Amino acid sequence: MAKLVAILATTHHPFFYKTSRLAPEEAPPFAAEWVRKVEAYRETLTRARPDVLVMVGSDHFHQLWLDNMPQFLVGKAPFYDANYYNEEREFGLPRLLLKGHEELSSYILREGIDREFDLAFSNELRVDHSITCPIITVRPQNDLPVVPIYTNIFAPPLPRPERFVKLGQTIREIIDAWPSDLRVAVIGTGHLSLELGGPRQFGAHGPDPEFDAKAVEWIANGDIDGCLANVTLDSLHAPGNATHGFMDFMLMMGIAGHRKADYADHLDLFHTMEAYFTWYPDGVEA
Amino acid sequence: MSKYLVNKFLFTVDRDPELVERYREDPAGTVAWWEQEQANLLLNCIAGEATTWLEFTDEERRALAGHDHVALFEMGAHPFLTLTLWIAMFERDHDEPLAMQLDYAHKLSHMSLPYPDITT
């Protein structure tokens, strides 16, 4: 069977790429610490020596649109071009080409559908910064094949938080059962409290530091029950109007199961809090 | 109320560099042209298989033609689409980093929870 060697759940911050490449005299005061934390986090993936990456993210109205909006979608293609004109324009992100892993995509689709998730699929998917930000931060050599999984955290009606956790648990079962000798890592990105296009955007901190502190605790402790007891589709409006991206963290908690993260770190930035978690299901050296 | 169509306008303009500039320079003309020529195009179909019934309300047309991001927020346009396009059009007019985004937020400071529903 395949071995799930690492589970990484993190925020995705599209400005990291540009910020990390600024000369020291041009860089903002928080840049050096940010780069240091990202490099330390990268090591948590490197040491797991993965062969293939399952990547959970959410399209930001780039390819997926309201005329035909899937709730959960799995990419199945040999390659994925990445990043869009408006991400180059706004964030300075580079265009990338990721390799796909069609066999694992097919397996996840077949098994997911048979386990009662009617997953949509795409044979021609251009992924956006929800997938490429973690490539840039934790696998900048971009040398591994990927299976992108998109969730709808953006265009209501959305699936409920319980459904994200359940999908994570199902993905875990599927990877654990995959007849392969490959080492799989799952990397998922979401948000803590976040406001975009509303009155609380771009403040000195995330819009709701109290929510962020609780969220970091839930994730770090693998406290799925505590998280589910406090988070609903309606409640996620309060910390910030884009906070439904937290449900991608909940999906990742579902993959990790009820256990503490082996690595947990965070960084308070303007506008949003960055957070970095890694679990090693079978220990670090497995 | 055609929130979907307002979002479709923001979406199709934001992804096209020429349309971003055209909407910045001539908002009323761009909105009129877009509603006439583009609004009913199904994005994944050929032109002959367009939709036949989509149109803006007067209020929506006015908000888009007036670059009125506050009105768009109040009517439940998707805030990510509006913000992204506004950054593309207007960040260049501000000298300080984030000045445009903070001014944008300030103009929405009268809004309180729950925000207008963005469900389409």
Taken in order of first residue, the domains within chain A and their CATH numbers are 3-279 (3.40.830.10)
Looking at the complex, does the CB of residue A154 fall below 8 Å from at least one CB of chain B? yes
- pLDDT average, residue stretch A197-216: 96
Phi, psi dihedrals of residue B75, rounded to the nearest 5°: -95, 5
**Residue B10 banded pLDDT, cuts 50, 70, 90:** very high
CB A127 within 8 A of CB A75: yes
Query: How far is it, in rounded angstroms, from Cα A100 to Cα A103?
Result: 9
Query: What pLDDT score was predicted for residue A153?
Result: 98
- pLDDT average, residue stretch B4-20: 98
Least confident of A208-212, A238-242, A282-286: A282-286
The distance in angstroms from the start CA to the end CA of chain A is: 14
Token pair listed for A104: 């694992």
Q: Nearest 5 degrees, angle CA B105-CA B111-CA B114? A: 120
* CB-based burial label for A48 (10 Å; 0-12, 13-18, 19+): buried
Query: How far is it, in rounded angstroms, from Cα B85 to Cα B20?
Result: 7
Query: How far is it, in rounded angstroms, from Cα A102 to Cα A83?
Result: 21
pLDDT in tens, A104-153: 999 999 999 999 999 999 999 999 999 999 999 999 999 999 999 999 99
**Closest CA–CA distance from residue B36 to any residue of chain A (Å):** 19
**Closest CA–CA distance from residue A174 to any residue of chain B (Å):** 33
Q: Mind giving me the DSSP string for A199-241?
A: TTTT-SS-S-HHHHHHHHHHHHTT-HHHHHHH--TTGGGTT-T
CB A258 within 8 A of CB A228: no
**Whether B79 and A86 lie within 8 Å, measured CB to CB:** no
**Residue A284 banded pLDDT, cuts 50, 70, 90:** confident
**Whether A66 and B8 lie within 8 Å, measured CB to CB:** yes
**Residue A286 banded pLDDT, cuts 50, 70, 90:** low
Query: What pLDDT score was predicted for residue B115?
Result: 98
Query: How far is it, in rounded angstroms, from Cα A84 to Cα B35?
Result: 25
| Interface mutation vs chain A, best among B16, B108, B110, most A CBs within 10 Å | B108
Please give the share of chain A, as a percent, with pLDDT higher than 90: 98
Query: What pLDDT score was predicted for residue A175?
Result: 98
**Whether A198 and B84 lie within 8 Å, measured CB to CB:** no
Q: Which residue of A has its CA nearest to B13?
A: A86
Please give the share of chain B, as a percent, with pLDDT higher than 90: 97
**Residue A266 banded pLDDT, cuts 50, 70, 90:** very high
In this predicted structure, the answer to whether residue A285 has a pLDDT above a threshold of 70 is no
Query: What pLDDT score was predicted for residue A265?
Result: 98
Query: What pLDDT score was predicted for residue A270?
Result: 86
**Whether B15 and A86 lie within 8 Å, measured CB to CB:** yes
Q: Which residue of B has its CA nearest to A68?
A: B44
Query: What are the angstrom distances between the C-alpha of A141 and each of A71, A128, A136, A144?
Result: 30, 17, 8, 8
In this predicted structure, the answer to whether residue B1 has a pLDDT above a threshold of 90 is no
Query: What pLDDT score was predicted for residue B32?
Result: 98
Looking at the complex, does the CB of residue B45 fall below 8 Å from at least one CB of chain A? no
